Amino acid sequence: MKPLVVDLFAGGFGWTAGFLAEGYRSVAFDIEHQPWHGPVPEGCDLVLQDVRTLHGSQFKDAAVIVASPPCQFFSYTAMPWSRAKALAAEVRSSAFRYEKELELFTTCFRIAQQASVPLIVENVKGAEPWVGRAKWHSGPYYFWGDVPALMPDNKWIKQGDDPSWFYDNYANSARRFGSHSKERKAWSASIAKIPPDLSRHVATCFKPI
């Protein structure tokens, strides 16, 4: 039987695509599936369910759990705008608000602990002030959890290692698309998608012998 990867917050299936290419089967979870996420890949079972309702005991047979929880909050509070700085200060001053914003991120670790399965969480550099220093990164893709000891050089950097890449692209998209438009959402999904060669590398590291 093919090894199983569990993909939390699957979005555009960046993680799943690389694992499928390495001979895995995937069970992917997200709260919705939109046209800009693309078709569900063959070999992947997509479950539309709030990740917070999952229990890790469901995934004890998985080889690994991967996750890319929403990064909008972390990205926004890292921006040099006065509103972004004010929001970050407000969240830090309120323990309840702080926990609420981190819930989706910490849920991944809860599920992996319950399953006793390795976990890799991907997010943006802006998450570091809230969740701690990442173990490794390639350009805008930052990784926490059971990151393999040997990771590739930063050769899959799409936007460069300058943190201003998100600010510049966000500002450009804001001028082109409305804040709640399908175009903006499609743009956000495209830049957040894990590069296939990077996800394939991680897949090879966890493939059962």
Residue count (the chain): 209
Architecture label for domain 4-206: 3-Layer(aba) Sandwich (3.40)
| Six-digit token string for 165 | 């890449």
CA-CA distances (angstroms) from residue 34 to 31, 73, 182? 10, 20, 9
pLDDT for 169: 55
Q: Count, in order, helices (H) and strands (E) of the chain.
A: 8, 7
Q: Using alpha carbons, select from 6, 32, 27 the residue that is nearest to residue 121.
A: 6
User: From first to last of its 209 residues, what are the pLDDT tens digits of the chain?
Assistant: 899 999 999 999 999 999 999 999 999 999 999 888 999 999 999 999 999 999 999 999 999 999 999 877 776 666 767 876 777 777 777 655 667 668 899 999 999 999 999 999 999 888 888 889 999 988 788 999 999 988 876 654 444 444 444 445 555 555 555 555 666 566 566 667 888 889 999 999 999 98
Q: Where are the domains of the chain?
A: 4-206
**What is this structure's pTM?**
0.81
